[in-house]
Amino acid sequence: AQSLASISTPKASVLPSSSFAVSKRAIPNRQAIALISDHGDPAAEIGREEAGGQNVYVRQVGEALAKLGWQVDMFTRKSHPDDPAIVQHSLHCRTIRLQAGPESFVPRDQLFQYLPEFVEAFQKFQAKEGTNYPLIHTNYWMSAWIGLQLRQQSNIQLVHTYHSLGAVKYRAVAEKPAIAETRLAVEKQILEQANCIVATSPQEKEHLRSLVSQQGYIEVIPCGTDIDKFHVMPQSEARVALGFQPHEKIVLYVGRFDRRKGIETLVRAFAQVKQQLEANWATDLDTLILNPSLPLPTLRLVIVGGSDPAQSDGQERQRIEQIVRDLGLTDQTLFAGQIGHDRLPLYYTAADVCVIPSHYEPFGLVAIEAMACGTPVVASDVGGLKFTVVPEETGLLVPPQDGTAFANAIERILTDDIWVRKVRRQASARVQQNFSWTGVAVQLSDLYRRLMAQSLLAPSAFTALDPMAATPENIATAAVRA
Ligand code: UDP
């Protein structure tokens, strides 16, 4: 494996001058652990530029772990001068924003140079608090680099979640960014050297094995959703709350404006569905004769997600708006903007179908949020979506970027009422059983405890075994040998 030293190192770092206004924790006898999410601020507004699933994951996992008895400190980079250095989410869960680089938005491809500052700020924070985190869970490859640096200096258990995999992402990209080689090297290093990789789907584990390395220990623990917020509600009430009509057929997209999300495929598919449904309606003479006053089914496309005109997501939104205009869909399309998780369940509930047309999706939180609300999903047959969406049972999977396949799947869901009723029930049941944040946190908590038990044992006792395999059997055998 390429060593860390050989990965081009960022510029000399500077310690942040500002001190932290932090009080000592109220109850010190909890075990403190650190989650690091360098660029995905867990306290940020979700659904804007580069703020999506990773932010949600870290925040929700952090809060759920705190409920299970941990003291959870979530570290991120301070990216706005007005943002407070500490955000207390609950008594035992907080976001800590470290100064590393400018206090402004920096695209993730340009953040690597500031990571040494992050490492130093993290160490300074630990010293000031008198805390040594025995376990650090890093998120995304840049935080992995930070975790690997920290582990060189103290005995920590390192857990990593990728959120996105360069080896997969760059396959679909014509021109790789300058940072690509560094990213790929760090992603290989963390897989081989972390105490455990948390893959969020079996598909991700397969990708790690086939595209990154055969070495390293991986456990599959999925992402989750807040099933107290995202659950089945009467569709009519949600429509009234949002001002949608009962007879409308609503097709929903939720997510960031990013080309990888494939919104263009959805818009083009929607145009086909509209054409097809209108043609069918006009020829359905029986319906017309029996119900001469039946209104033409109105199709509506609702696109939820924030954007900033000065950033790349703003440009993608403009591009999508232009396609909507070119296809004559302006009257049918609503750009709802950024919607918080307090109101998002209304949108999922009001919709007849939620479409996830991503070219690549490591997990795809939107799929389980929609399903939790009992909304059928039409998604690309890629990545984590293959794991969460069960074809015919909770929705349909179709080839990515295939507009006609999306159109056919959407149309089927809009017209096959009897089957859809079953799909709705199965979708919400699948999420309740498999994807609650509490269930995810219980699995992570169990993993952390096993790893921390392992770290108490003499490292040499593990060398004859698989050093990465923190199974209860290995721990027991090692304990006997020690
Ligand atoms: N989201 C939101 N408001 C919006 C748009 C998106 O809260 O206006 C949330 C959405 O509910 C989901 C997350 O952003 O929890 C997107 O996660 P996903 O894994 O689907 O995609 P990513 O952004 O990680 O690529």
Spans of all domains in the chain: 4-11+28-224+446-481, 235-434
CA 15, CA 78: separation in Å to the nearest integer?
Answer: 14
- CATH C-level class of 4-11+28-224+446-481: alpha beta
CA 53 to ligand 1 centroid distance, Å = 5
Best residue for ligand 1 mutational test, from 56, 168, 260, 369 (most atoms within 8 Å of Cβ) = 56
Best residue for ligand 1 mutational test, from 254, 341, 382 (most atoms within 8 Å of Cβ) = 254
CA 350, CA 246: separation in Å to the nearest integer?
Answer: 9
Report the side by side order of strands in the sheet with 218-220: 86-90, 93-98, 71-77, 32-36, 135-139, 157-161, 196-199, 218-220
- Strand pairing partners for 382? none
476 in Cβ contact with 450 (< 8 Å):
no
- Minimum-distance ligand 1 atom for the alpha carbon of 356: 20
CA 341 to ligand 1 centroid distance, Å = 9
Strands 86-90 and 71-77: unpaired
Residue owning tokens 């000592």: 24
Cβ contacts of 312 within 8 Å, gap of 6 or more? 49, 107, 258
Would you say the ipTM is above 0.95? yes
Q: pLDDT tens, position by position, for the chain (482 residues)?
A: 334 434 544 443 333 333 333 444 444 579 999 999 999 999 987 656 567 789 999 999 999 999 999 999 999 999 999 999 999 999 999 999 999 999 999 988 899 999 999 999 999 999 999 999 999 999 999 999 999 999 998 889 999 999 999 999 888 677 888 899 999 999 999 999 999 999 999 999 999 999 999 999 999 999 999 999 999 999 999 999 999 999 999 999 999 999 999 999 999 999 999 999 888 776 666 666 666 666 667 899 999 999 888 888 999 999 999 999 999 999 999 999 999 999 999 999 999 999 999 999 989 999 999 999 999 999 999 999 999 999 999 999 999 999 999 999 999 999 999 999 999 999 999 999 999 999 999 999 999 999 999 888 745 333 333 444 444 344 344 433 33
- Minimum-distance ligand 1 atom for the alpha carbon of 51: 23
**CATH code given to domain 235-434:** 3.40.50.2000
Q: In the structure encoding, which two tokens stand for residue 268, read together?
A: 């083009």
Nearest to 222 by CA among 196, 197, 201, 205: 201
Q: In the structure encoding, which two tokens stand for residue 331, read together?
A: 């009257």
453 in Cβ contact with 475 (< 8 Å):
yes
Counting Cβ atoms within 10 Å, is residue 60 exposed (0-12), middle (13-18) or buried (19+)?
Answer: buried
Ligand 1 site: residues with CB under 6 angstroms? 46-47, 52-54, 56, 254-256, 304-306, 338-339, 341, 344, 363-366, 369
Q: Which amino acid is at 240?
A: V
CA 384 to ligand 1 centroid distance, Å = 14
- Domain 4-11+28-224+446-481 identical in fold to domain 235-434: yes
- Minimum-distance ligand 1 atom for the alpha carbon of 56: 15
